Chain A
């Protein structure tokens, strides 16, 4: 299996999607004030959207939703990989529901990889599976 090792898996996917650079915030106003303070960042969410027992699904919509509070939405790249920057550290990752969708498919299931709950920055890897209608 290619991704038997959890950390290797995280590293490879992170490298694919550029997780490290994108965690370093977006431009500020004023004199280039970058948000150097990321101490309030919760974990990011990443993974693949795949067909069941099949390849990654490109341009699938991925939603990270907090019930009744809001959602972050992105789409998968050509490999079927997605990355969502994440919520604040006060948000429990277990309260974040990852779903995926694409025309012609229905969501089959979602698999969340185990993570170290004590590490609040440990990215949350969630695979989302689609099957053709």
Chain B
């Protein structure tokens, strides 16, 4: 058993205003075209601070930073309003007196630089079948690099072939190659290359289609405060994020072998090094889950196996997969330890074998379970998001297909439940205390509910097309919170009424696992920006 390494303790500048240090920043946003503008995100970042606070202008074009969030000092200002850029002022000095700034916006000369992946999806011509493979591209980069390229179909072909050999835990800041070559069908690559050459700049200096944009936030969607915590290295890729009882934020790093901890109150950031088990294999972890004792577990991706982090001793215990199951392609992306106290078993998955793993904590060995063994061969399956009930029965998402699966902890019997929407690709999930499994239907652009008691489904369309929700969380008020890699928006949806709010985020934001802290009122949403090396806090004001 390897012990943990206390790799880094990085004290970030503390930007929370202390008592007696309260500064008020208010202002207005106007443009020549629209006059007073609603739904403009206004962000303030103090010089030298890793923390950025963002508010949104109301229907009168007014904005106000909450009292106590900004200390005296020099702040850079930035805005987000598609189609516009900040003419000025670019900064403000907060002193003893309250500041009121009048922000002027001008039309942007580079609209393409502002488009989200969702907006590119909306803009690009093509059939759903042609666009569908692109939802994989978002794992590593935005569409901007595709649409700004000048490759023709022939030039795209080797680029796509090369990219297929990158590990899925790759970001632009840290590219990682797979050790085991992945088979890719040339005809599919040619098809995609041909399509991409019709939507990029290979045929001229401008795009042969109109760029479409989503509307700015309005109404309740402007009543929010967003805080971004920059992490100390660009290579940090926060994937799964959750808070503990002390309000500290813990995250898995998708591309480096560290577990991260952030104290949002002080800004202090720490990293705990996870020993590298397979030198040369891609590093980083994906799923981060708590067991019944509050200890954290990580699924170690291509490093294989699971890691348990003892919250009291701050040490790791590693559970490598046995040699018979390990190879260069082996990959554990998920872990579900929540009910392991019942039977001493922890659930995981083996991505390369489209199978479930079950770790016996007594022996340290994994059992391989093929939950699809009675289904037709030749179909792609991928056990992904996991939840366990109080008896440690497993529920899992079949991310490559359209199923939710259940494995009985005692008998091992598998039950497969096809989702009502075909080709839905269920992704991440949570089980609430009423036995309801909330999940995202990534490819179907829906949120789903599977009631484990009645074994029945319900589905809700995500309001913005091409959002491709990654994860969903049911809060204490019965509202759903979701995010993904495409829209730069956090979705808040009331499943009873179907009403929803979408909070636009200040920067391009690649969201994976989402988490809601129910201890605050209103609740607080947390996520990582997987490609942006930041932790994100969204505080609705109602």
List residues of A whose CB falls within 8 A of some B CB.
Answer: 21-22, 25-33, 35, 37-42, 59, 61, 66, 68-75, 84-89, 91
| Docked pose: A25 CA to B455 CA in angstroms | 23
Evaluate contact between A71 and B415: CB separation under 8 angstroms.
yes
Question: Closest 6 interchain pairs by CB?
Answer: A32-B133, A70-B414, A40-B377, A37-B378, A41-B376, A26-B423
Evaluate contact between B413 and A31: CB separation under 8 angstroms.
no
Q: Mark B398-430, 1 if CB is under 8 A from A, else 0.
A: 011110000000000111111000111100000
Evaluate contact between A31 and B189: CB separation under 8 angstroms.
yes
Q: Which of B160, B379, B415 has the most CB of A within 10 A?
A: B379
Q: Mark B158-188, 1 if CB is under 8 A from A, else 0.
A: 0010001000000000000000001011001
Residues on A with C-beta less than 8 A from B417 are: 72-74
Q: List 29 A-B contacts (CB under 8 A).
A: A25-B401, A26-B402, A26-B422, A27-B401, A27-B425, A29-B136, A29-B382, A30-B133, A30-B136, A30-B184, A30-B188, A31-B133, A31-B188, A31-B189, A31-B191, A32-B191, A40-B377, A61-B456, A66-B374, A69-B374, A69-B413, A69-B414, A70-B374, A70-B416, A72-B418, A73-B415, A84-B418, A87-B374, A88-B377
B331 to chain A, nearest CB (A): 12
Residues on B with C-beta less than 8 A from A87 are: 374-376
Residues on B with C-beta less than 8 A from A29 are: 136, 380, 382, 399-400
A26-B401, A29-B400, A33-B185 known; A88-B374 Cβ under 8 A: yes
Apart from A27-B443, A69-B374, 15 more pairs, CB < 8 Å: A26-B422, A27-B132, A27-B425, A28-B380, A30-B182, A31-B160, A31-B185, A33-B185, A33-B380, A38-B378, A70-B374, A70-B415, A70-B416, A71-B416, A73-B416
Residues on A with C-beta less than 8 A from B133 are: 30-32
B542 proximal to A (CB < 8 A): no
Evaluate contact between B188 and A35: CB separation under 8 angstroms.
no
A70-B413, A70-B416 known; A40-B376 Cβ under 8 A: yes
A42 to chain B, nearest CB (A): 7
Evaluate contact between A38 and B425: CB separation under 8 angstroms.
no
Majority SS at the chain A contact face: loop
| Docked pose: A38 CA to B380 CA in angstroms | 11
Evaluate contact between B378 and A40: CB separation under 8 angstroms.
yes
| Docked pose: A59 CA to B129 CA in angstroms | 31
Evaluate contact between A31 and B164: CB separation under 8 angstroms.
yes
Evaluate contact between A31 and B418: CB separation under 8 angstroms.
no
A40-B378, A88-B374 known; A31-B184 Cβ under 8 A: yes
Evaluate contact between B456 and A75: CB separation under 8 angstroms.
yes
Residues on B with C-beta less than 8 A from A25 are: 379-380, 401, 423
Residues on B with C-beta less than 8 A from A32 are: 129, 132-133, 188, 191-192
Residues on B with C-beta less than 8 A from A37 are: 378
Residues on A with C-beta less than 8 A from B377 are: 40, 88
Evaluate contact between A35 and B184: CB separation under 8 angstroms.
no
| Docked pose: A74 CA to B424 CA in angstroms | 15
Selected contact of A30 from candidates B164, B191, B418, B457, CB within 8 Å: B164
Evaluate contact between B378 and A61: CB separation under 8 angstroms.
no
| Docked pose: A91 CA to B372 CA in angstroms | 13
Query: How many A-B residue contacts, CB cutoff 8 Å?
Result: 111
* Interface footprint category on B: 35 or more
| Docked pose: A5 CA to B133 CA in angstroms | 43
B178 to chain A, nearest CB (A): 12
B371 proximal to A (CB < 8 A): yes
Residue of chain B at shortest CB distance from A33:
B188
Residue of chain B at shortest CB distance from A89:
B376
| Docked pose: A66 CA to B379 CA in angstroms | 19
Residue of chain B at shortest CB distance from A63:
B415
| Docked pose: A87 CA to B378 CA in angstroms | 12
| Docked pose: A68 CA to B415 CA in angstroms | 11
A28-B400, A29-B400, A71-B416 known; A35-B379 Cβ under 8 A: yes
| Docked pose: A68 CA to B456 CA in angstroms | 23
| Docked pose: A22 CA to B377 CA in angstroms | 16
CB contacts under 8 Å to A, within B351-384, are: 371, 373-380, 382
Residues on B with C-beta less than 8 A from A28 are: 380, 400
B317 to chain A, nearest CB (A): 31
Residues on B with C-beta less than 8 A from A39 are: 378
Evaluate contact between A88 and B136: CB separation under 8 angstroms.
no
| Docked pose: A73 CA to B456 CA in angstroms | 9
Residues on B with C-beta less than 8 A from A38 are: 376, 378
Evaluate contact between B425 and A26: CB separation under 8 angstroms.
yes
A3 to chain B, nearest CB (A): 25
| Docked pose: A70 CA to B113 CA in angstroms | 50
Evaluate contact between B422 and A88: CB separation under 8 angstroms.
no
A120 to chain B, nearest CB (A): 11
Q: Which of B160, B378, B414 has the most CB of A within 10 A?
A: B378
A67 to chain B, nearest CB (A): 10
Evaluate contact between B400 and A26: CB separation under 8 angstroms.
yes
Residue of chain B at shortest CB distance from A35:
B379
| Docked pose: A40 CA to B413 CA in angstroms | 22
Evaluate contact between B418 and A68: CB separation under 8 angstroms.
no
Residues on B with C-beta less than 8 A from A74 are: 417-418
Evaluate contact between A68 and B413: CB separation under 8 angstroms.
yes
A26-B400, A30-B164, A70-B371 known; A35-B136 Cβ under 8 A: no
Residues on A with C-beta less than 8 A from B189 are: 31
| Docked pose: A22 CA to B160 CA in angstroms | 29
CB contacts under 8 Å to A, within B436-490, are: 443, 455-457
Residues on A with C-beta less than 8 A from B399 are: 29
Evaluate contact between A88 and B443: CB separation under 8 angstroms.
no
Residues on A with C-beta less than 8 A from B455 are: 61, 73, 75
A126 to chain B, nearest CB (A): 17
